[in-house]
Structures are given as structure tokens and as C-alpha cells.
Chain A
Amino acid sequence: KNQVEQSPQSLIILEGKNCTLQCNYTVSPFSNLRWYKQDTGRGPVSLTIMTFSENTKSNGRYTATLDADTKQSSLHITASQLSDSASYICVVTRAGNMLTFGGGTRLMVKP
């Protein structure tokens, strides 16, 4: 079964700290993996996209990694800001552009 599992389900950190979110997937055949940020009451917005051959991709303070052999990805947030409070969703695309979404990690950054 095509699945995307994320951990932790929720996370609270202090402003300025770093954190790492995890994503494991069993989706096949794999096309690409995206991390989305979803603010409360908004639709998801893409942060990074990685294909099979890419190991790491950065977007400002966000750095995503991908290990296609172990089918694991991580999203590292550096020097967190209050505006980083949101849900972060790992999305794996299968061939045919079928998206399989993880359940998300709800991050809260406190001052």
C-alpha cells in the first residue's frame, strides 16, 4: 500500500531553535517528493521538491534531504521564527502525478 508516514505528529520549540521533521514512505513508483507548509486555514504551499537523484535541497532556512534507498526524507528548519508555526506535510508523487500525502507535523514555535 502506498503510504507516507510523518513524525513527530506535533512539535513545540522555542523561537531561534532548530528542528528536524521526518518522513518515511512506501510509495512506488516514485516520481518526486515535496515538503509543503500549510498555515492554519490556508492551502498547502510547496517548500521544496526533490527527484530520485537529489539528496538535499535548500530554500532559505528550510533544508530537505532525501534517501531514496531507505525511502526517508527530512525537513530541517534552522533558526526558527514564529511564522514557521504551521503544519508541514510530506507529499510523495507517484508516476502519473498521483500525490500521496503524509498526515503532517504540526509545529508550534513559541517566543
Chain B
Amino acid sequence: GAGVSQSPRYKVAKRGQDVALRCDPISGHVSLFWYQQALGQGPEFLTYFQNEAQLDKSGLPSDRFFAERPEGSVSTLKIQRTQQEDSAVYLCASSLKPRDNSYEQYFGPGTRLTVT
């Protein structure tokens, strides 16, 4: 079956532009996670959704970052007024059960954002 997909795969934005990154999780997966991965580093947690509810946004670095999952499936991560330090790969992962069940997270290929 289809895995987690993300689009676009690559995005170049000028500093100050807004960007929207899309994640299509595995169908039926309850949990959806967003991570930020700087070059040569491991991913860092941004936010978590259980269905349409955003239960944890403790990792969002600033109020310029906003995520939504209005119908409990597709999610969008929006970054307003992008800055150079936002340049990173943004990974989305989904999991079958709610987060507390420790089910495996399946990762998408990521969106590489470059802010110039």
C-alpha cells in the first residue's frame, strides 16, 4: 500500500515569504507527527496530531510555524515570513494508533526547504 507522501519535495523560498508543506499520511493512521531535520542532524519534534486534534505543539520554534489537520487525514505545515534558519528538511510521520501506544512511526521522504 501507499506510504506517507509529502509535497513538494523541494521548496526554495525568499526570506519573508510564506510556505505551505503538505503531508499525506497512511490511510487510517490516527497519529501524525511533524519533524524538522537540519543538515547532518537527527530530526527534532515539532508537533503532533491525534486525528484532527493538535495535542502537542511544544516543538514549534516560533509563532511563525502553524500546522493543521482539519479532517484528520492530510496535514499542512505553514511557515510564515520564512527566515534562513528555517532551512531544513521537514519530515512527516504517521502511526496507526494514538501516540501513547508506542506504535511505529512511518516517515515520509521529507520536504527540503531552502530559504535564500
Interface residues of A (CB under 8 A from B): 4, 31-32, 34, 41-46, 49, 89, 91, 93, 95-99, 101-104, 106
Interface residues of B (CB under 8 A from A): 4, 31, 35, 40-45, 91, 93, 95, 99-105, 107-110, 112
Docked CA distance A45–B40 (Å) = 17
Q: B41 and A103: CB pair below 8 A?
A: yes
Q: B107 and A97: CB pair below 8 A?
A: no
Pick from A4, A41, A44: contact of B107, CB below 8 A. A44
Q: B42 and A89: CB pair below 8 A?
A: yes
Q: Which residue of chain A is the closest to B98 with respect to CB atoms?
A: A97
Q: B108 and A43: CB pair below 8 A?
A: yes
Docked CA distance A106–B42 (Å) = 11
Q: What chain A residues lie within 8 Å of B4 (beta carbons)?
A: 43
Given A32-B102, A43-B91, A46-B104: A98 touches B45 (CB 8 Å cut-off):
yes
